Amino acid sequence: MPAIICLLLALHWGGSQYPWDSSRVTSLLLLSGFLIPVFIYVQHRMGDRATVPPRILKKRTVWSSAIFEFFIGACFLLAMYFLPFWFQAVKGASAVSSGIMNIPMLLSVVLFTVASGIIVTSWGYYTPFIIGAAVLMPIGYGLMTTLNIDSGPAAWIGFQIIAGAGVGIGMQQPLTAVQVVLDIADVPTGTALIIFAQALGGALFVTAGNTVFSNRLVAFLAEYVPHVDPQVVVSAGATGIRGAVAAQDVDGVVHAYNSALSNCFLVSTATASAAIFGAVMVEWKSVKGKNIEMAA
């Protein structure tokens, strides 16, 4: 936990509040880099008394599922966090309206999660859905990088559905996979590891995404409207930019916001693409004959 806190603080401060080469940021990165190997070493020495016993991590499906879930948590939470900003800043939606406009992704996640759970229960195999998710997600999030001021509902609804479908068919499958390959006594630890990986991926990359957004927004403001004070735009927030700058500068500020958010969606696309490295390593096993609880 201390290592993760140090890493999160470094990612949050780096490039925004303090330069990346500042003593605060570099110290936190070095401390995190030191504590993580120490934690791994201690866990290895403790054996079966470790928080996550090595016998669990040695299971191919467990560590590959954790990798997959780490990246799916990263790409999904990144998009869920920044997409409302796009609706507010670029489309001029209110905070409430931006939440409503985000429903297509949430609804598709829920529907495809339920549908994939039903199919896995009857068919038995979950690995194809994990691989399918690793293919669909980069497509959906990659398409989101093309969103611009002129994008209509067909684009932002359709792109959300594609990304949500990928997340929906894949997000819950690792929880099923670890129940298949682990002994019943190890299942609670295995499922906790998967949930932790998902939460960690989201926390790390939302923090990193904030840094990317802040840095790129300032850079794009300097490019599109160099005479506008970036601090005024940042302080106004996504919903207040139209009232914070002169009318002739609104288009430039909106373009800067759109470009900065496109960079955030690129991070989502990259993490979604990285999920394939975990997906292809998950073993092909059936849930048939296994006493498991299907995630819904």
Structure tokens at 274: 């990285």
- All structural domains of the chain with their residue ranges: 1-49, 52-279
Question: Which candidate, 168, 83, 102, 139, places its Cα nearest to that of 272?
Answer: 139
Q: What torsion, rounded to 10 degrees, do the Cα atoms 137, 208, 87, 222 define?
A: -130
Residue-averaged pLDDT of the chain = 90
Q: Please state, in angstroms and rounded to a whole number, the distance separating the CA atoms of residues 65 and 56.
A: 12
Q: Is the pLDDT of residue 23 over 90?
A: no
Q: Please state, in angstroms and rounded to a whole number, the distance separating the CA atoms of residues 155 and 87.
A: 13
Q: Is the pLDDT of residue 14 over 80?
A: no
Fold classification of 52-279 (topology level): Growth Hormone; Chain: A; (1.20.1250)
| Cβ-Cβ contacts under 8 Å for 143 (sequence gap 6 or more) | 155, 158, 159, 162, 163
Q: Please state, in angstroms and rounded to a whole number, the distance separating the CA atoms of residues 123 and 112.
A: 16
The structure's pTM equals 0.88
- What does the pLDDT look like over 128-167, one tens digit per residue? 999 999 999 999 999 999 999 999 999 999 999 999 999 9
As beta bridge partners, residue 142 has none
Cβ atoms 215, 255 nearer than 8 A: no
**Residue 126: pLDDT band with limits 50, 70, 90:** very high
